[in-house]
């Protein structure tokens, strides 16, 4: 038997294997929960690697700094973070990196922190063959825990917004789709580029979830963000909660100018980096939350069965196959 390499086993299997060295369920969500005598902390680490996640042609260092902070904060929000404390920043730079690039990167960090809270707590830097940004974000756990393994059969599945925009933004920035080749409309183009370059963590939505929770008794609900893609996020909820997810294609929210066709469905379901929340709630709670936030949409439900994602009312003859992104 040949020696396994990371490319062959894939990202999800890698995480499963290293999770065997951690406490039970520690790797079920993006954030680690640390209990202290006074407050429970949420801690999350994300990496951005040059030529894997970014390059100078598709995103400016200022936008990259913003994105590095907000994507980490999105993971904290999807676990129920009520307050951001700050970030530690690890930086790997090539020796010929210009200071201007670093300066603009940190201006992006600061811009995001000034808007959403927290500060730079510390960090480290080193040299390497490619640039790399490692962010460790710390926040306070709210009284309501949001966890991937907390979905229950019979609960309603909600999304906080539209998916696919960040993927389209990436394709436009990378010149894989030219603005003039498709009649997409300026508004959709601008929204997509902004979704890719300047994602926003759903902290205000979380506050509405916490406010609505006062009417119900649950201390834990099912939730994740769609950083790895719409489909993958739902599958992760299904897998960790050991139940089946059923999605109604006719209910998923789309931009009014979003093109039809299987290619565009692939962008929507598997594009990733949209950072919307996928939430599982009992029917009465879901209805209450939708009344409080009109951007939240019911898209399906969970039922008993093996972990899987079933898509109902899909109009195209070919069923969607799992084409989720993997780092390896």
Q: Are 220 and 141 in contact (CB under 8 A)?
A: no
Structure tokens at 234: 């739902």
Q: Do 55 and 193 lie in a common domain?
A: no
CATH of the domain at 190: 3.90.650.10
Residuewise pLDDT in 10s, the chain (328 residues): 467 775 776 767 767 776 776 567 767 777 777 777 778 999 999 999 999 889 989 999 999 999 999 999 999 999 999 999 999 999 898 888 888 898 899 899 999 999 999 988 888 888 889 999 999 999 999 999 999 999 999 999 999 999 999 999 999 999 888 766 667 888 899 999 999 999 999 999 999 999 999 888 889 999 999 999 999 999 999 999 999 999 999 999 998 889 888 889 999 999 999 999 999 999 999 999 999 999 999 999 999 999 999 999 998 766 777 777 766 6
Global pTM reads: 0.88
Q: Do 110 and 166 lie in a common domain?
A: no
Q: Tell me which of 141, 168, 203 is where a domain ends.
A: 141
Which 8-state DSSP code applies to residue 71? H
Q: Tell me which of 121, 141, 161 is where a domain ends.
A: 141
Interatomic CA distance for residues 145 and 217, integer angstroms: 12
Return phi, psi of residue 60, to 5°.
-75, 155
Q: Do 98 and 119 lie in a common domain?
A: yes
Interatomic CA distance for residues 235 and 272, integer angstroms: 13
Whether 5 maps to a domain, the answer reads: no
Q: Are 169 and 197 in contact (CB under 8 A)?
A: yes
Which 8-state DSSP code applies to residue 60? -
Q: Do 136 and 150 lie in a common domain?
A: no
Structure tokens at 49: 């690697």
Structural domains of the chain, count = 2
Q: Do 149 and 122 lie in a common domain?
A: no
Q: Do 174 and 305 lie in a common domain?
A: yes
Q: Do 56 and 96 lie in a common domain?
A: yes
Q: Do 76 and 99 lie in a common domain?
A: yes
Beta bridge partners of 141: 81
Interatomic CA distance for residues 263 and 27, integer angstroms: 32
Domain holding 282, by residue range, is: 145-312
For residue 101, which of 49, 47, 64, 58 has the smallest C-alpha distance? Answer: 64
């Amino acid at each position: 038997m040949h020696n396994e390499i990371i490319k062959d086993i894939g990202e999800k299997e890698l995480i499963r294997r290293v999770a065997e060295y951690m406490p039970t369920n520690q790797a079920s969500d993006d954030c680690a929960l640390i209990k202290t005598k006074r407050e429970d902390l949420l801690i999350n680490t994300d990496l951005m690697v040059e030529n894997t996640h970014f390059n100078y042609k598709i995103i400016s260092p200022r936008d990259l700094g913003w994105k590095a902070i907000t994507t980490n904060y999105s993971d904290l929000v999807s676990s129920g973070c009520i307050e951001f404390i700050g970030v530690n920043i690890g930086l790997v730079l090539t020796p010929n990196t210009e200071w201007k690039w670093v300066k603009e990167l940190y201006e992006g960090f600061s811009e995001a922190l000034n808007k959403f809270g927290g500060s730079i707590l510390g960090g480290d830097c080193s040299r390497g063959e490619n640039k790399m940004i490692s962010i460790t974000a710390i926040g306070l756990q709210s009284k309501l825990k949001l966890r991937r393994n907390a979905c229950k059969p019979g609960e309603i599945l909600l999304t906080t917004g539209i998916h696919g925009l960040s993927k389209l933004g990436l394709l436009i920035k990378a010149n894989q789709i030219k603005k003039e080749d498709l009649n997409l409309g300026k508004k959709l183009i601008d929204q997509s580029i902004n979704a890719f370059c300047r994602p926003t963590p759903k902290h205000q939505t979380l506050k509405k979830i916490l406010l609505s929770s006062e009417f119900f008794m649950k201390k834990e609900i099912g939730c994740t963000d769609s950083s790895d893609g719409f489909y993958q996020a739902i599958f992760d909820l299904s897998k960790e909660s050991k139940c089946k997810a059923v999605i109604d294609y006719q209910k998923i929210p789309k931009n009014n100018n979003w093109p039809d066709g299987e290619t565009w469905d692939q962008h929507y379901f598997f594009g990733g980096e949209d950072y919307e929340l996928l939430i599982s709630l009992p029917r009465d709670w879901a209805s209450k939350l939708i009344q409080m936030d009109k951007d939240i949409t019911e898209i399906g439900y969970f039922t008993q069965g093996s972990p899987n994602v079933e898509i109902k009312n899909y109009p195209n003859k070919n069923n969607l196959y799992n084409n989720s992104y993997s780092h390896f």
